[in-house]
Amino acid sequence: MNAASETPAAPGLSREGLARFCNYITGELGIKMSDAKLPLLQSRLQRRLRVLGLNSLEEYQKHLFDPAKGDDERVHFFNAITTNKTDFFREPKHFEYLVQTALKNLEPSQIPGAAPAPWHFRLWCAGCSSGEEPYTLTMVLSEFAGHRPGFDFWLLATDISTRVLEHAQGGIYEEERIGPVAPALRSKYLLRSKDRTRAQVRIIPELRRKIAFRRLNFMDAQYGVTEMFEVIFFRNVMIYFDKPTQEKVIHKLCRNLVPGGYLFVGHSESLAGLDLPVACLGQAIYRKPA
């Protein structure tokens, strides 16, 4: 969208102001903005107007881009406009593939007849939202560790929204959210609230300690991530990016993927036609050449 668009401006906001919002969101977050998303944008910013005591989006835009105020407000702005849809065991075939194929292929070299070598496995959940995906992965990896002596693991989970990261760090979820979690895993890894008037569960401390949550913007030139990972889950994030942005982000992520490591993307995300440092194995699974 640009200033010449024929789309009516939002109440209290000129077409130029509307275009500035859209261009800023695309430039800072890589999210493609279309006219159809504008009512959603307006709706999500209403709470910030109330908190700040502002009367219009035009006033809010001046506040957001005020150098003296904007740095703090940008965090709230990103929290308001980003979409965070996730579930436990979403797209379950990926978790099966991780255990049955990827981990077997990544197994450290063994000396015949010797005990299994220690294995310090690292996984990056990029775009972790409110935590359901990284906690699913900790359950899956904990189950794997029960059958593989010497296996230990650690997860990095990143998102741009401080709001969802705070939720994820707490590890507390409404019971209605845990439907996809098998009963055996619920009893092993979830704690029910002692207050039975609150239908909530919490991830056990042993799993919460396996994850480091950090804020990260995929549009940053450098991610500041120093660790190398054997697997990266980057699922259902790129649907908001255009093709050039997808390509750039994957290249940056793969800097931290070991040779032979795996990249998982969302089943609805097509990377066809992109120049990537990984090869497609099918089922939205990619592998970096060894």
Gyration radius of the chain over CA positions: 21
Among 202, 207, 186, 260, which residue's Cα sits nearest to residue 230?
260
Token couple for 134: 């990284």
**Unique residue bearing structure tokens 């775009």:** 127
Among residues 48, 122, 159, 208, which one is catalytic?
159
**Amino acid, res. 109:** S
By the 8 A CB rule, do 177 and 87 touch? yes
Residue 50 bears catalytic tag: no
Among residues 15, 20, 35, 44, which one is catalytic?
44
Helix (H) or strand (E) holding 202: strand 200-203
Token couple for 197: 């008037």
Helix (H) or strand (E) holding 170: helix 162-170
Residue 35 bears catalytic tag: no
For residue 283, give the DSSP letter: T
Q: Which residues are catalytic?
A: 44, 159
